[in-house]
Amino acid sequence: MGCERRATEKAGLRALRRITAWLTAVVALLTSLVVTNSPAMAADLPYGPYTCANGYVWRDAYAGDQVCVTPAIRTQTATENALGPSRREPGGGPYGPDTCKQGYVWRETRPSDHVCVPPSSRDQAYSDNSSAHLRLADPGATPRGGVSISTTLNQLGGRLFANGSGLTPYGAVTFSAVGIGTTRPYGLGTLYADAYGNLPGWQHVADVWCRSYQTGPATIVVLDVRTGLVTTAGTTTAFLHCG
């Protein structure tokens, strides 16, 4: 009887080891799948979510400025940074210590950018900020920001609404859709942040018409024009909801 019991115990241990090994392999497989399908790897962008489209480079007006511009504008921006101090009024003026000399204005690639430049450079900075989402390799791969969207579906598609925070006070906020079969982000509408940088309540962004060829949800891209910062706000099924 003792021999039979020991044999049974050994068989049970062998079975337990096989089960443990199987579970370990399953866990390892699941872990590898999670890593393989992570958003960062799926995007496959060499310089992260703000990788520029071909022909563009980061502006680098300040540390962390990843607005995509032409190489010529990046060179111009670096020159402006170097010349900026010489274009300020010695001792300051009506706009504080950063008051510019006659003929120069603040560049304002973001509200705190007080580098003194010719007016044409400020216009250029605004134009580049306004096009920031169009110059990314994949604007839909940018991280989630402080804005969220909500969709009310109807027979023709749906209505898109947004609220959120963390925006430039009184700044324009534009909305676009990617993943709907167009080569460029599809413009939806513009809202304006309040004095606190918020979009209070659920504000109407656009009425969205369904597309018969649409097979999945679209990603909504948000651009804070005053800073050129591009983020995402979630997805909507309005483009594929027909009837």
Give residue for tokens 């003929």. Answer: 103
Band the pLDDT of 211: cuts 50, 70, 90. Answer: confident
Same domain, yes or no: 233 and 145: yes
Using DSSP, state whether 154 is helix, strand or coil: strand
- 99, 133, 167: which is the final residue of a domain? 133
Looking at the structure, do residues 152 and 233 belong to the same domain, yes or no? yes
Q: Which of 133, 159, 190 is the last residue of a domain?
A: 133
What does the pLDDT look like over 176-199, one tens digit per residue?
Answer: 999 988 778 999 999 999 999 999
Residue 229 lies in a domain: yes
Distance CA 231, CA 136 (A): 11
| pLDDT number for residue 70 | 98
Residues 87 and 111 occupy one common structural domain? yes
Rounded Cα distance, 205 and 161, in Å: 5
- The residue among 76, 101, 133 that closes a domain is 133
* Domains of the chain: total: 2
Cα dihedral 107/111/113/118 (nearest 10): 10
Asked if residue 93 and residue 159 are part of one domain, the reply reads no
Do 148 and 82 sit in the same domain of this protein?
no
Distance CA 168, CA 184 (A): 25
Q: Based on the domain organization, do 145 and 129 belong to the same domain?
A: no
In a domain, 6, yes or no: no
Q: Looking at the structure, do residues 228 and 164 belong to the same domain, yes or no?
A: yes
Residue 20 domain-assigned (yes or no): no
Distance CA 140, CA 119 (A): 33
Is residue 155 located within the same domain as residue 106?
no
Element (H, E) at 40: helix 39-43
pLDDT value for 43: 53
Is the entire prediction scored with pTM above 0.75?
yes
Which pLDDT tens digit goes with each residue over 215-230? 889 999 999 999 999 9
At residue 31 the predicted structure's pLDDT band, cuts being 50, 70 and 90, is: very low
Contacts of 206 (CB under 8 A, 6+ apart): 159, 160, 175, 188, 189
Domain CATH code at residue 197: 2.60.40
pLDDT tens digits, residue range 8-27?
A: 555 555 555 555 544 444 33
Tell me: do 204 and 226 sit in the same domain. Answer: yes
Residues 174, 232 within the same domain: yes
Digit-coded pLDDT (tens) for 131-177? 999 999 999 999 999 999 999 999 889 999 999 999 999 999 999 99
pLDDT tens by residue, 67-126? 999 999 999 999 999 999 999 999 999 999 999 999 999 999 999 999 999 999 999 999
Q: Is the pLDDT of residue 49 over 60?
A: yes
- Please indicate whether residue 215 or residue 55 has the higher confidence score (pLDDT): 55
Which residues form the domain of 233?
140-240
Distances (CA, A) of 191 to 34, 73, 152, 178: 37, 28, 18, 18
Contacts for 87 with CB less than 8 Å, ≥ 6 apart: 100, 101, 104, 116, 117
